[in-house]
Every structure is written in C-alpha cells, then in structure tokens.
Amino acid sequence: MSNKIIRVLSLAFFFATVFSGCGGGGGGGTSIAPSPPPPPPPPPPTGGISRSGIASGPISGFGSVIVNGVHYETTNAAITVDDNPGAESDLEVGQIVQITGTVTEDETTGLIESGEADTILFDDNVEGPIESRDLVNNMMIVLGQTVAVNADTSFDDGIDPPSLEGLMDGDIVEISGFINANGGISASRVERKAAGGEFEVRGTVANLDDVNMLFDINMLTVDFSNATLDNFPGGVINNGDFVEAKGMTFGMNGELEATRVELEGGFTGDDGDNAEIEGLITRFVDETDFDVAGFPVTTNAQTLFEGGTAQDLGLNVKVEAEGDINASGVLVADKVDIRRGNVIRMEANVDDVDAAAGTVTILGISVEVDALTRLEDKSSANIEPFTLADLNAGDFVQVRGGEDPPDSGMVIASRLERDDADPDTILQGFVQTVSDPDLAILGVTIQTDGTTIFRDVDDSVLSDTDFFNMVMQGSLVKAKGTLVGNVIDAEEVEFENE
C-alpha cells in the first residue's frame, strides 16, 4: 500500500472519530449512541513495495515463470504463444518472453523480490527449414537468418545430441534468441518442429520493392503480393519497419510467399515502471547511450556494474539492465549485469546436492546454482517444474557456466540439465597445469595415453607431440573419457575456441 493511501485512510479515520463525538443540540430529543469508530488503517506492508514492472529475457525455470532471476506468478496472467492464447505449460526453458505486471521491491535494497504477471508474450524469431549448418563455427541458416548456437543455447529434448550435430539440413526448427547488431540471431532455444506447419520470421524490412511487392529480411526475400497487412498505418510497408511475416510456400526464386505481414511495435513501459531487460547491445554510442534488445538504456554515476565495468560495454555484449523508465521511455539503469562467461562444461554424475545452499558438487567441483541458472529435466523422469530439490547424488547432469571468481575453482552455472545416465564424462575448462602426458582442469587430472585422440579447434587430428607443444596454462580444452576416481581417463582431448 502506498504512503499516499495510508495518509488518506489516516485522515478518514481522524475525521470519522471527531465527528462521531459531535451530537445535536440538547432538548428532549432521543439519545443516540455514537457509532463505533472504524478500525484503524492497516500498517504499511512489510514484504516490500508493489509497483508496475516489465521484463524481457529467457525463461530459466518454472513453478511460476522465472525470468531474470524473478519469479512471476502466472495465476491471472494472459499468456500469448506465437499470436495464440496459451498457458504456462506451453512455455519452455530458454524461450525469450516479454512480461508486464506488478513487481514487489525490497524497501531497503530496492531489489525486485517477486512479481505477478498480467501478460506473458512469447513469439519465436524464426520457424522454418534449415538451409545449411556450419558445425565448426556453430552456425546455421534458417529462412535466410543467420543463427548462432553457443553455451547459452537450450536444445529441445528431441534433438540428440543436443547440438547442431543432432539436426540435419531440411529439418524444420523454431528458434528463440537474441537479435544482434547485425540482424543475426544468438539462439537461446532450438526446437525441432513437424513438417506442414506455417513458416514465420521476424526482422527489419530492407530493399523494399513496392512495384513487385517484395522486401528482404536479412537473406530472405518476402513476397507480400497476396498477404494480409496488419497494423501498418495507411496499409503501407516502409524500409526499417520491424515485422513478422508468415507463409507456407516458396516462390520460384526461393522467396517466402507471405499470407500475412504484421508491423510489430517495440516493447515499452510507462514513466516510473520498473524494467529488467536482458539481451545483446544492439546500438552503442557510449556507456550512457545504448540499446539492449532494442530498448534504450542510459547509465549514470550511481549505476552499479556487475561482471565487468562500463568500459566492457559495446555492440553485441550480453547484459541485463535493471532500473526505472523515465518520461522519455529510456531505462535509467540502477544496475547493469554483464553476463557471465559459459566456457566451463561438465557432463558427469552428481557427487552431492545442497539444495538449501544452492550448490551441487560435480567431479569434486563446487557448482553454484542461482535464480539465473536455467534448470531443465531431460531425463526419463521428465519432472516439471524441475528444481534443485529434485536432483540427487548419482544423477547425470550437463552443466554450462563460468569460473567465478576467476581461478577460484568454483563455478556458477548458467545451465543445468539432468539427463539419463551416460558412461562418458566430459570436462571443459582452462588448463591449470601441464605435465605430459597429463594436464589438470579445475583440479581434475586429465590422463592421456597412446589411445587418446587429440584435436585442434577445427576438429583436425593432432599428434600427441603437437598437442603438448601447443597446450599451455590458460588454454581452453575439452576432455572426454571415463572417470576413474577423480581422474578422467581421456579418450579424446581437443582445443576449444573461447
């Protein structure tokens, strides 16, 4: 309850009390007992201050919908999935959503404690056939859109292995991700879809040809000659419009024959709203003037930077900006979180779980799981919502994250997925020590021998001599093999790009 409301209620109580004591004149009138005073106004809330808020970012978990570390209750939320009414059960970890609603702010710290969603909107970036894949650079082309996959990408359970290798050219996929400064997509979730559905793509109109009724979205040409146009002022498309185009067929030159093209407005809030926006920096002038996922952001002397400094900001840097929206529609950031690295990779059995402390021990390494960690159960148990309390010692998990603080041997997980048991153990990280034929990563010994296959970053095979001539402290290396005690007997060791 706001202070204004409390003051109004207090005044109402005061006047009610005063006037209840004022009777009419004397005389022989009937005596009327005064009405009992109304109850005093309730005390101010102790759980925080409620206010309007908006959020945009990937879903990291459920049991409510968790976005940017905040749990949003969905009981009364209107959920829209790809332009259709949906439910929480239609949403998936890694999908980027936009939320409007009410957030509860801690009175002391100003941090958001929880939220209640009024609306949740999910709309994919592109859905269509894979035209080509680049396994070396972890990229693919889908409907003329360049899609990059990385450690932050969640793959649907039906994609095995969960990487580009689990897909084929021609597969129909749905991509949710962050648009970068060049119009490409950094995928946060990839799902395989059945053939026969509608293709769709969102992006910026370029090379508009009004005569032939064509325009481009990156490398895709869209024919809108037979399309229904939605939300365009005067029914006119312009270069620079951000649109969604849908269709089911292609023309002779590979153009998408659109049945519908919709002009999409930007994600905005009102003056004074709290906002939490996660994404890539798509426009950058300086640290006081930049866009995150197309949303204008500014910082000031009071802005707190986590995970880096203002000097680390720049195009395509992934950040979360949190603060209030001003009268100009700009997010004035109280905090800018430069997102953690994800070069650490583990695929192994769990040693121990401390759900209360938010930690998991894997390969003897302490892994912190926090509100920003994406949790997903891909095992046959398929528990949803999946939380750390559902994880047990002996479960097989896949973890991506970063070492924090650097050189501490402790890892903060950005993703943790439980899967069915696998005999192979994988550990990727920075080399601490080298002692041919062995090396150490995060305190775990990687033991090699004459049967170990060594590879360079381009997947080419190296001799053991060449590998150990190249590897050094700080090299990023992935080892795959059998765990014996706390030693990985390596079948394969390869250099990785950071």
CATH code where residue 301 lies: 2.40.50
Of the candidate ranges 15-19, 41-45, 326-330, 492-496, the one whose mean pLDDT is the lowest: 15-19
Average pLDDT over residues 307-334: 93
Give the position of tokens 């700009």: 330
Three-state DSSP at 198 gives coil
**Residue 493: partners with Cβ closer than 8 Å, 6 or more residues away:** 439, 446, 448, 452, 453, 454, 455, 467, 477, 478, 479, 480
Taking Cα atoms as reference points, which of 98, 3, 23, 109 lies closest to residue 53?
Answer: 98
Instruction: Judge if 251 and 279 occupy the same domain.
Output: no
Question: Residue 209 is part of which domain span?
Answer: 199-263
Does 131 lie in the same domain as 109? no
Domain boundary among 263, 297, 316: 263
* Domain containing residue 64: CATH number: 2.40.50.140
Domain-located, residue 333: yes
* pLDDT-based confidence at residue 15 (cuts at 50, 70, 90): very low
Work out how many domains the chain is built from and give that number: 6
- The answer to whether position 408 is within a domain reads yes
Only one residue has tokens 């409390």, namely: 6
Burial of 453 (0-12, 13-18, 19+ CB in 10 A): middle
- State whether 218 and 179 are in the same domain: no
Type of residue found at 365: I
Do 311 and 357 sit in the same domain of this protein?
no
10 pLDDT exceeds 80?
Answer: no
167 has pLDDT over 90: yes
Whether residue 31 lies inside any domain: the answer is no
Residue 11 covered by a domain: no
Residues 353 and 327 placed together within one structural domain of the fold: no
Decide if 25 is inside a domain.
no
On whether both 189 and 172 belong to a single domain, the answer is yes
pLDDT score for 48: 58
pLDDT of 26 reads 38
More confident of the two residues 160 and 7: 160
User: Which pLDDT band holds residue 265 (cuts at 50, 70, 90)?
Assistant: confident
What's the rounded Cα separation, in Å, for the pair 321 and 57? Answer: 11
Mean pLDDT of 343-360: 96
Do 203 and 188 belong together in one domain? no
Q: Average pLDDT in the 460-489 region?
A: 96
Mean pLDDT, all residues of the chain: 89
Q: Which of 165, 193, 221 is the last residue of a domain?
A: 193
Q: Are 330 and 390 part of one and the same domain?
A: no
Domain of 394: which CATH number? 2.40.50.320
6 domain-assigned: no
Is there a single domain that holds both residue 321 and residue 256?
Answer: no
Could you tell me the pLDDT band of residue 49, with boundaries at 50, 70 and 90? low
> Which residues are within 8 A (CB) of 286 and not within 5 positions of it... i.e. 6 or more apart?
none
Q: Between residues 117 and 403, which one has the greater pLDDT?
A: 117
43 located within any domain: no
Band (pLDDT 50/70/90 cuts) for residue 340 is: low
| Same domain flag for 489 and 432 | yes
Q: To the nearest whole percent, how much of the chain has pLDDT over 90?
A: 79
Least confident of 10-24, 227-241, 456-470: 10-24
Inside any domain, residue 17: no
Q: What percentage of the chain reaches a pLDDT higher than 70?
A: 89
The last residue of one of the domains, among 193, 217, 244, is 193
Contact present, 6 and 44 (Cβ < 8 Å): yes
pLDDT in tens, 120-159: 999 999 999 999 999 989 999 999 999 999 988 999 988 9
Residues 53 and 93 both lie in one domain: yes
Query: Is a pLDDT exceeding 70 seen at residue 34?
Result: no
- 182 and 214 together in one domain: no
